[in-house]
Amino acid sequence: DLTIKAFELADRYRNPAMVIADAMVGQFQEPCRLVPEKPVEIFEKPWSLSGREGREPRLLKSLYLGDFEQEEHNLFLKSKYDEIQEKEVLCETQHLDDAELMIIAFGTPSRVAKTAIRMAREKGIKAGLLRPITLFPFPAREIFEHSSRVKNVLVVEMNTGQMVRDVRIAAHRDAAISFYGRPGGGFPFPDQVLEEIEKALKGGKP
């Protein structure tokens, strides 16, 4: 689904799109539910260089040398990025209505986090999840809104800290941000994430 959506968004906005998938996805063995195919939306492409018969010629370029042309083009690009940020953010949330700690994770760590959250709740710890599905546009508004209420945040990644920087910028200033990462191809186990949840709550905010 997301691969098809990546192509559609790249076509709609004329912007590169990347599908970020870690190696663990290719090593899983599990049931797979195939969803019915959806028709791909066809966009009008007035910029396409498809032959000029019956119309004015078209020119594709990104360098403008006239007075203020480059500035105008850059402002156009900014408006496009603003539109993408407003319309195309995707994220998943679980158990945040009553959470005292929010895990933010994407990819394989987010799946591990779901198990750790279930284990935490079995122990009476109210943990929840925010999983960014799109990293650009980043769900900054959603992170801010949830972290304004859930004051303890644990970022889990398969590295030494990349997304956590964006989380620190996006989160409410009163939120306590903790990080747990496993670099070099290692990935966190649920019991390790549960331990980090407990540590974050001990050193976090009531």
Of 87, 113, 144, the last residue of a domain is: 87
Q: Is the pLDDT of residue 206 over 70?
A: no
- For position 56, what pLDDT does the model report? 82
Written as six digits, the tokens of 146 are: 């949830």
- For position 51, what pLDDT does the model report? 76
Range of the structural domain that residue 154 is part of: 91-203
With cut-offs at 50, 70 and 90, classify the pLDDT of residue 205. low
Residue type, 14: R
Residues 6+ apart with CB under 8 A from 92: 110, 129, 130, 131, 133
Same domain, 117 and 57: no
Same domain, 108 and 6: no
Residues 6+ apart with CB under 8 A from 24: 107, 108, 187
Min mean pLDDT across 36-50, 97-111, 117-131 is at 36-50
pLDDT one-digit tens code per residue, 2-47: 888 999 999 999 999 999 888 887 777 888 888 888 887 888 888 8
pLDDT one-digit tens code per residue, 146-184: 999 999 999 999 999 999 999 999 999 999 999 999 998
Long-range contacts made by residues 199-204, C-beta under 8 angstroms, separation at least 24? Answer: 200/101, 200/152, 200/154, 200/176, 201/100, 201/101, 201/125, 201/152, 203/176, 203/178, 204/101, 204/151, 204/152, 204/176, 204/178
Q: How many independent structural domains does the chain possess?
A: 2
Nearest CA to 192 out of 132, 100, 105, 133 is that of: 105
- For position 204, what pLDDT does the model report? 60
Between residues 1 and 82, the one the model is more confident about: 82
Of 87, 112, 141, the last residue of a domain is: 87
Which sign does the torsion angle of CA 138, 114, 197, 192 carry? Answer: negative
Same domain, 96 and 181: yes
State the CB neighbour count (10 A cutoff) for residue 36: 4
Between residues 97 and 205, the one the model is more confident about: 97
Same domain, 143 and 44: no
Between residues 203 and 73, the one the model is more confident about: 73
Same domain, 156 and 72: no
Paired sense of beta strands 127-132 and 91-94, if any: antiparallel
Same domain, 114 and 81: no
How many alpha carbons fall within 13 Å on the CB side of residue 69? 7
State in Å, rounded, how far the first CA of the chain is from the last one: 40
